[in-house]
Copies of this chain bind each other. A is one copy, B any other.
């Protein structure tokens, strides 16, 4: 039973709340994309996802992918090829990419909020456009004009697709250990090595697949500083096969319709992207978008699960209300929404989903501003916010998303555990998001070890400046007072935790590592409190039922979710001793 509907009304609310028109559509090159135009694009995209991709979600999960060992080909489930053709013909793949290479040239903000709907309707499918976008961004930012000319248009229009070939059997988190070799040969290189976990590494959707491959040149320094980036097409431009083959598929808990491939490179022709040995730097420039997108996966499946749990709850009658006045005695039992705990579970999910959707919008708008504002100070401010909040959305939205999907299953009882409903698939599909694109603890180390110290703590100051501006601007709005007062308190708590962490971590990095995951969650909750205050500010200007709904949902968040911050603050300050004094022989 697939009931999902795109939450475009709430997406619009957030575009307004975070001033999409003033912040993004006001940038010269986005002048064509005012809110009306944006919503018309998003509505068209949502219709396609609901009509063409949603019907393939369950069948894709059940049928999975076929690997043919005879020719190492991979066949996707029925309907995926037609759906991909439809998606590319509608121009959705090229939404945020330059018109000169066949794209629409829309703000990245629209692609980011649209991706929630794409993922919610069919997460496995979404990974093909997702990975291709990553490759396009890398080429745009670091490729030579020649490479751009040869590759971008076919990728942007969906004639070809792209992958990211990073992981090898001996290295996932620690890419410094990778051993794939690239030997120079004339204007190109010859690559040899084995890559694993390659999403959409082989498939039958497009006539060519372009791999972005991390490898080492012969004169590369050891470790992370000796990695270069290459483009390696499956089929060479002259139509001959390159030395690229699929060595098999992983069998996974979820995302069954997304092929996860072993990709073997055997003397394959490749082209250098950017500067030799500076590959990791190039990868970091595109990582923000990819990590934001993984965060969106947590939100997307959480909302899809919520919609089903709510539909189930509205329909299900079981037991009597604890309040005799609410009992409907003409029915054999009361609707389960009378039970406080059913509401508690649903509101845990709803109140975090809506905040996370706001955070996605806020970050995406700042990505556009970081790249396209005319004023350097504006660009820098937005870049600070994006860099700081990216690890937070990736980690917190996936962790919470997983918990939320499980909470939705709990609302549905045994029904949620069966394949009659898609929630069990969402739970299996969403779990990987806590692991890939940098595990969630890697996000925490990125936050604590890179983002906080950067530019003498400027990133945090920039974000706290935003918080302070909001607090000051809300002085004369009594409706906001309880929320603003909680935000103030939480900001102080976060700043105190940051000082403590910086103090300890300066002399002992293990202290920072021990605290990082809990600190990230503390930061996330404070950030969501800020997002809720922004949303409430806008809700006041909207009025009516939407205002009431937002205020009631925010009240739940501030009363029942935000207190988790105290636990994270406490755990972040315990210190490393319980872990590091532990004798590993006793594990």
Contacts and interface: CB of A to CB of B under 8 A. Distances in A.
A444 interface: yes
Copies of this chain, tallied across the complex: 2
A444 B344 CA distance: 14
A508 B325 CA distance: 12
A336 to B, nearest CB: 9
Nearest to A341: B441
A574 B347 CA distance: 14
Interface in A512-566: 512-514, 516-517, 545, 548-549, 552-553, 555-556, 559-560, 563-564, 566
A59 to B, nearest CB: 14
Contact of A586 (B552, B567, B576): B552
A510 interface: yes
A389 to B, nearest CB: 21
A529 to B, nearest CB: 15
A581 interface: yes
Nearest to A516: B341
A587 interface: yes
DSSP majority for the A interface?
Answer: helix
A434 interface: yes
Interface in A433-484: 434-436, 439-441, 444
A240 interface: no
A509 interface: yes
Interface stretch (A125-133, A151-159, A248-256, A269-277): A248-256
A69 interface: no
A431 B414 contact: no
Q: Looking at A337, A431, A444, which has the most chain B CB atoms within 10 Å of its CB?
A: A431
Contacts of A509: 322-323
A488 interface: no
B574 A560 contact: yes
A413 B432 CA distance: 9
A419 B253 contact: yes
Interface stretch (A171-179, A213-221, A281-289): A171-179
Interface string A77-112: 000000000000000000000000000000000000
A582 B563 CA distance: 19
Interface stretch (A14-22, A142-150, A402-410): A402-410
A418 interface: yes
A431 B406 contact: yes
Contact of A435 (B170, B171, B413): B413
Interface of A: 167, 170-174, 176-177, 197, 250-254, 310, 318-319, 321-323, 332-333, 337, 339-341, 343-344, 346-347, 350, 402, 406, 409-410, 413-414, 416-420, 424, 427-428, 431-432, 434-436, 439-441, 444, 508-510, 512-514, 516-517, 545, 548-549, 552-553, 555-556, 559-560, 563-564, 566-567, 570-571, 574, 576-587
